[in-house]
Structure 1
């Protein structure tokens, strides 16, 4: 989907989640005393025994985008997704889903949203042990009042989508951890939600199973183009899945950017530490470092480098060349130029002095 055709799916503005007595009033008072300086207000709240788990968070998610929120344990990422989905009540701010502020929605409206618009997948599968896989997947449809035949047909459809065809009559105890997580994904997709919230869905799984489910997620996303907010603490998972990444620290968002921007231009040492061991050549793309000068230099050789090539692939194409080479966009037009030395220097991991 082109950026031009995308519309706003989620808009968060100045979202706070504060734990403690009279949190709303205490936050209002702290902000007033701090002159609306959120960092100072958070300090005052902590001083008074409250916990500002999410602090003044603002971001947008576009339709069809995979927006990954990552950070260390205790950074506030899971609290944030629970606040956005209103599994917990936000203290302040606004959270608009398709223009509707769900922080002011009634309980009945929230039930409607969760039945018809929101799909949720969590680290713990939450399957009903006495139900077959088909019945587990069809359960959200039952809550919507769908008939048994319709529930069965849709359940079989999404079970096949997640690669579990033939296991419809199995019970959760008969499946592996990875298979149970696939059931959780299928159940979230059964109602065909517009928005998909995933809170560290693969973190309890073995690395090989995680990679397989990440590939499955990308395959499903390519076909369905769901708007997704995905929580993880794993930078390689974030880089693999995300259109954009928000990195959190101590309840605050410290950087939002594409995977290339996070890798190539970290805003501080905290973000830089996340990406320190990331093989940049495998994840960063030529588009993040090319430029289009006013006057094109002499470029006698053209190794056919694409803007979306990884640095590793681009270097393999031009490692024997010693002059700038053109970079071609998906539309077949020249998007810019890049010098092989730029690609090589991007792989250097030395930290700045």
Structure 2
């Protein structure tokens, strides 16, 4: 379909030195615990098939160790290229182009360009450079792209206005609250005008008030800018609040994917049911 952003096909991700043993063990039906015990290999993602559409917020969630962050990092090649070994493919279709890239097998130069211009990542720990000001942190991706200085200044000012930090542009990260630091991270991700944002539990360290505020900002920014967002969390309430669809993972596999209404009304298994019972029916249909 033309509105597909990512098509993930039969994806396995394994960490270790002898991953061929792990792949062979997977093929004969052994589970991740057996493979870790017998071969000291870690199966992080197993048999994932997934389609993500342009302009949606897909939330990936699961308990600690479920594979959600490992899967997220496959979408820009951090896992499967820089770390770990994979089988399968992740086809990426940027909007307004007929090109299709296989993230896991395209050339290094193609992957570099994708990371520079097409896919940005927002980390849980913000990833700010303490020796740079707020404005300099936000400008950094554009400097890597070798943009003109006047363009960089214009884009930085625009994105800082977007996240409400114009008056803090000359401050350093240690002078900001945690919520403000996270907003700097968001501005830096948005400044590249990337088509896709990967967000790895970006609000988990924040207090409830700042967390709710930034959830609202993400929803509004996505509405205004029409980005595709893949968002990892372990909080089903957060997933319900921001997600177009939710994928629930366990032991490296996706157990179920659908809207919050789908998951609550028709959970596929007990693990999905455990997540969905923490959110009241009224929160979905109000």
Q: Distance in 1 between matches of 2:208 and 2:64?
A: 19
Q: Deviations over 1:281-325 (max 9, x none)?
A: 121x3xxxxxxxxxxxxxxxxxxxxxxxx2xxxxxxxxxxxxxxx
Select 1:16's aligned residue among 2, 5, 12: 12
Q: Based on CA coordinates, which of the two structures has the bigger radius of gyration?
A: 1
- C-alpha root-mean-square deviation of aligned residues, in Å? 1.5
Query: Match for residue 125 of structure 1?
Result: 126
Matched pairs, number: 275
Matching of residue 79 in structure 1 with residue 70 in structure 2 = yes
Query: Match for residue 106 of structure 1?
Result: 107
Query: Match for residue 281 of structure 1?
Result: 282
Q: Deviations over 1:90-142 (max 9, x none)?
A: 41110111131110122222211111101110101111112111111011000
Poorly superposed stretches of 4+, deviation over 3 Å: 40-44
Does the 8 Å contact 2:18/2:41 carry over to 1? no
Query: Match for residue 262 of structure 1?
Result: 263
SS at match of 1:84: coil
Q: Distance in 2 between matches of 1:252 and 1:213?
A: 29
Matching of residue 29 in structure 1 with residue 30 in structure 2 = no
Q: Distance in 1 between matches of 2:34 and 2:88?
A: 19
Query: Match for residue 292 of structure 1?
Result: none
Select 2:35's aligned residue among 20, 25, 45: 45
Shift, 1:150, TM fit: 1.0
Does the 8 Å contact 2:22/2:39 carry over to 1? no
**Superposition TM-score, scaled by structure 2 size:** 0.92
Query: Match for residue 60 of structure 2?
Result: 69
Q: Distance in 1 between matches of 2:236 and 2:187?
A: 25
Structure 1 gaps of 5+ residues are: 286-309, 311-353
SS at match of 1:136: helix
Query: Match for residue 3 of structure 2?
Result: 7
Select 1:56's aligned residue among 47, 56, 74: 47
Q: Distance in 2 between matches of 1:22 and 1:216?
A: 44
Query: Match for residue 79 of structure 2?
Result: 88
Shift, 1:44, TM fit: 5.3
SS at match of 1:198: strand
Query: Match for residue 96 of structure 2?
Result: none
Does the 8 Å contact 2:245/2:260 carry over to 1? yes
Structure 2 gaps of 5+ residues are: 94-99
Does the 8 Å contact 1:27/1:41 carry over to 2? no
**Superposition TM-score, scaled by structure 1 size:** 0.75
Shift, 1:50, TM fit: 1.6
Q: Deviations over 1:206-246 (max 9, x none)?
A: 11110010011111011011011100000000000100000
SS at match of 1:94: strand
